[in-house]
């Protein structure tokens, strides 16, 4: 059959530089004529040996997901791709995309998501390319895509009817095979290979344990329903907000104490369940709660590492662990006791990929509610939930008991992140420049009981490929091990997000029961003294405290 391939002349858009997790913009930007097409063609143009290959495509179900997938399928067919595996109804969580790329040895995958950013016609949209190891494209690939986007002059698309994404099975789009796959099946099989599902099933059906999983009307709904209610026997209704909606039900699909307030109210309410968890828009983040008890992501990573041998997939121990630089040093203490390496990387999951591929790390995590392991090359929200349930099933203790026992053994890293969202970009940059200008004079300076030991702008040399990433966040470290970190985030679409991370180590078990904001009060005041946050941002308090 002859393929009706159309060639469109186009001109570059100047703003298609991918951030830490692909290209994220308002939906209205992606809807501009040629905008999405330019970016997709730029991806295809820099992929060597694309013809005849298999790609994976799916997204979190947010607004514009379905239309974008149809465009991508037709462009892939026009660019010589042999086969695309696409999730039913266009739905695939980010961890599932990674798992499918790896299982079927695909060339890569295109993930359509703006992760935890709001959805809907006035919300955000995003496109991310994942490489053949299943992980986010490293900087050299995203730089190549960006360079191509600055000079692109044409793109190719097949003139054909839309593909039925609702029906499982294969169809042809020109000469390309489109395979609509079950969104959950491959991912669930991978989870069953790692965790003791029989033991968790017994635990969840014993009648003594109740859980509440909140999918925030985002992508993990079908996965959580299949895993926890159908396979593991949790009662119907244990998974709430489980139907993916294009606008996430008007909510903000970010699993933290502010945006997952429905779940927080349940776990802090009367007759609360024993365990609660939430995931974000694309399913790669997680929040873990016990009854009236919040587990910080930094502590969660440390506790998973300390208890990994209780889980079948990790019973032989860990090769090493890795954390992003702003994440608390709780996991460092576990690594030290286990006698394994702990790597400190810049923010962005792609930096873990080389460590995982080289067998240097097994578990990794970020303070921004992301945890994962070498099973895929993305963070994985439901994997973390299953890991916790496996530990709970073995130890037969409450979430709070496990965390407090961990603090007694290792000390507590009081930790908090203060986000100032949608700050004027110029003012945010001026604030960072002001802090940077003070850095040479800070070491040795006294702030109350705190003495500055070092101040630097974090730079990372990848131990596998030697690549260097500079200016990854300003660190101010004190002689007692406390830290303040300042970063501008690259995941929002409006203005700049200023993130301030605060950490203080407390080995004394008698002093481990404070509210983190109280325990960190002096450091919060020092951060404002150094950075003049109120002066530069005009804000009296952070938008979000986690």
Active site residues: 115
Neighbours of 175 (CB within 10 A): 12
Q: What SS3 state is found at 96?
A: helix
- Rounded CA-CA distance 5/77 in Å is 9
The answer to whether 74 touches 8, Cβ cutoff 8 Å, is: no
Exposure letters 412-433 (e unless 16+ CB within 10 A, then b): bbbbbbbbbbebeeebbeebbe
Give a three-class secondary structure readout of 11-63.
CCCCCCCCECCEEEEEHHHHCCCCHHHHHHHHHHHHCCCCCCCEEEEEECCCC
- Rounded CA-CA distance 305/195 in Å is 15
Q: What is the edge-to-edge ordering of all strands in the sheet holding 211-214?
A: 239-240, 211-214, 275-279, 286-290, 293-295
- Rounded CA-CA distance 269/292 in Å is 8
Cα distances from 11 to residues 17, 24, 342, in angstroms, run 15, 20, 46
- Rounded CA-CA distance 410/506 in Å is 9
The answer to whether 112 touches 68, Cβ cutoff 8 Å, is: yes
Per DSSP, helices labelled H in 246-398 are: 261-267, 297-306, 330-338, 350-357, 381-395
Per DSSP, helices labelled H in 358-453 are: 381-395, 399-410, 425-438
Exposure letters 142-164 (e unless 16+ CB within 10 A, then b): bebbbebbeebeebbbbebeebe
φ, ψ of residue 457 to 5 degrees: the values are: -105, 115
**Locate tokens 């630089």: which residue?**
325
Structure tokens at 46: 């820099």
- DSSP string for residues in 125-184: EEEEEE-TTSSBPPHHHHHHHHHHHTT--EEEEE--PPP--SS-EEEEETTEEEEEE-TT
Give a three-class secondary structure readout of 70-88.
HHHHHHHHHCCCCEEEEEE
The answer to whether 230 touches 205, Cβ cutoff 8 Å, is: no
The answer to whether 213 touches 240, Cβ cutoff 8 Å, is: yes
The dihedral region occupied by 74, where left means phi > 0, alpha psi between -120 and 50, and beta the remainder, is alpha
């Amino acid at each position: 059959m002859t393929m009706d391939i159309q060639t469109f002349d186009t001109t570059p858009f100047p703003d298609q530089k991918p951030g830490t997790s692909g290209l994220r913009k308002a939906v209205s930007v992606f809807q501009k004529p040629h905008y999405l097409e330019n970016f997709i063609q730029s991806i295809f143009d820099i992929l060597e040996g694309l013809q005849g290959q298999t790609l994976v495509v799916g997204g979190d179900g947010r607004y514009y997901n379905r239309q974008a997938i149809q465009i991508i399928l037709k462009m892939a067919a026009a660019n010589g791709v042999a086969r695309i595996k696409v999730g039913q109804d266009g739905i695939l969580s980010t961890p599932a995309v990674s798992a499918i790329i790896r299982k079927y040895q695909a060339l890569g995958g295109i993930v359509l998501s703006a992760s935890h950013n709001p959805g809907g016609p006035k919300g955000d949209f995003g496109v991310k390319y994942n490489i053949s190891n299943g992980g986010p494209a490293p900087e050299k690939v995203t730089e190549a895509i960006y360079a191509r986007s600055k000079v692109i002059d044409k793109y190719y698309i097949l003139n054909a009817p839309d593909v039925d994404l609702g029906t499982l099975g294969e169809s042809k789009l020109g000469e390309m095979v489109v395979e609509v796959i079950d969104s959950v099946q491959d991912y669930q099989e991978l989870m069953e290979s790692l965790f003791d599902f029989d033991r968790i099933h017994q635990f969840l059906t014993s009648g003594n344990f109740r859980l509440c999983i909140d999918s925030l009307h985002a992508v993990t709904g079908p996965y959580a329903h299949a895993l926890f209610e159908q396979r593991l026997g949790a009662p119907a209704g244990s998974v709430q907000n489980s139907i993916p909606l294009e606008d996430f039900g008007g909510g903000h699909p970010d699993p933290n104490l502010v945006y997952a307030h429905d779940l927080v109210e349940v776990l802090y309410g009367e007759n609360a369940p024993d365990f609660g968890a939430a995931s974000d828009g694309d399913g790669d983040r997680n929040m873990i709660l016990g009854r009236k008890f919040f587990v910080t992501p930094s502590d969660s990573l440390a506790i998973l590492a300390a208890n990994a041998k209780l889980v079948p997939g990790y019973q032989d121990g860990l090769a090493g662990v890795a954390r992003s630089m702003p994440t608390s040093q709780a996991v460092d203490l576990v690594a030290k006791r286990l006698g394994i390496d702990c790597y400190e990387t810049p923010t962005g999951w792609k930096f873990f990929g080389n460590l995982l591929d080289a067998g240097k790390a097994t578990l990794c995590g970020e303070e921004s509610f992301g945890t994962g392991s070498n099973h895929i090359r993305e963070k994985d929200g439901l994997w973390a939930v299953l890991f916790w349930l496996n530990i709970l099933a073995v130890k037969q203790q409450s979430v709070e008991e496990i965390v407090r026992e961990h603090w007694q053994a290792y000390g507590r890293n009081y930790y908090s992140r203060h986000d100032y969202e949608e700050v004027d970009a110029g003012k945010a940059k001026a604030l960072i420049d002001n802090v940077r200008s003070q850095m040479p004079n800070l070491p040795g300076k006294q702030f109350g009981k705190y003495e500055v030991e070092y101040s630097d702008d974090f730079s990372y040399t990848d131990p596998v490929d030697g690549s260097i990433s500079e200016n990854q966040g300003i660190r101010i470290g004190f002689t007692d091990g406390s830290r303040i970190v300042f970063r501008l985030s690259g995941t929002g679409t409006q203005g700049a997000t200023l993130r301030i991370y605060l950490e203080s180590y407390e080995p004394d078990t008698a002093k481990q029961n404070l509210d983190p904001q109280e325990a960190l009060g002096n450091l919060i005041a020092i951060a404002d003294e150094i950075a003049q946050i109120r002066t530069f941002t005009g804000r009296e308090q952070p938008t979000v405290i986690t």
